[in-house]
């Protein structure tokens, strides 16, 4: 081969990229789905609890029942505050959207790799193509990390702490 990589080595490199993309998709889909579920649950819980407070405070009763409804509404209000802080700190909705974007990019790369593999037949992959696929995968991983870092910084800004260069993908 032109760049000194034999057919077996080229196959191993290509298979490494295929496996890496596949395994990253499994983990990232799982995290995306978890963040989507958490974002939905937190949103529904805060809206539902807010509605419950409105109802509890609007019920016209007297005596001990009125005090109990008021105390319950107060407790639910405190719980909403905790849930809202949780939402703001962990940013599950933003993470869900960011992870959905990364999954989309990885799925597109997986399709391009599969399409290329179909065209190979029994031939060994071109090392340059394997390198291109690896470079694309690394670009996707870098963009994912940068986006994740921006979301985390927005959710938990730390004044005076310098930005660190990205670590390995």
Dihedrals phi, psi of 148, to nearest 5 degrees: -60, -40
pLDDT digits (tens), the chain, 169 positions: 445 568 889 999 999 999 999 999 999 999 999 999 999 999 999 999 999 999 999 999 988 999 999 999 999 999 999 999 999 999 999 999 999 999 999 999 999 999 999 998 888 999 999 999 999 999 999 999 999 999 988 877 665 555 555 555 4
3-state secondary structure of 168: coil
- Please state whether the predicted TM-score (pTM) of the whole model is above 0.85: no
CA atoms within 13 A on the CB side of 32: 16
Torsion angle, alpha carbons of 138, 24, 113, 19, to 10: 110
């Amino acid at each position: 081969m032109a760049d000194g990589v034999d057919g077996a080595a080229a196959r191993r490199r290509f298979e490494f990229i295929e496996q890496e993309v596949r395994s990253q998709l499994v983990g990232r889909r799982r995290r995306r789905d978890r963040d989507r579920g958490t974002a939905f649950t937190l949103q529904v819980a805060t809206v539902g609890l807010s509605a419950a407070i409105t109802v509890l405070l609007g019920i016209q009763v007297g005596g001990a029942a009125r005090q109990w409804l008021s105390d319950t509404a107060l407790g639910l209000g405190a719980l909403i505050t905790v849930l809202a802080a949780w939402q703001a700190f962990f940013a599950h909705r933003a993470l869900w959207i960011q992870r959905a974007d990364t999954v989309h990019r990885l799925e597109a790369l997986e399709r391009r790799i599969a399409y290329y593999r179909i065209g190979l037949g029994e031939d060994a992959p071109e090392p340059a193509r394997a390198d291109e696929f690896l470079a694309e995968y690394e670009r996707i991983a870098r963009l994912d990390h940068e986006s994740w870092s921006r979301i985390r910084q927005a959710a938990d800004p730390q004044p005076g702490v310098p930005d660190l260069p990205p670590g390995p993908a």
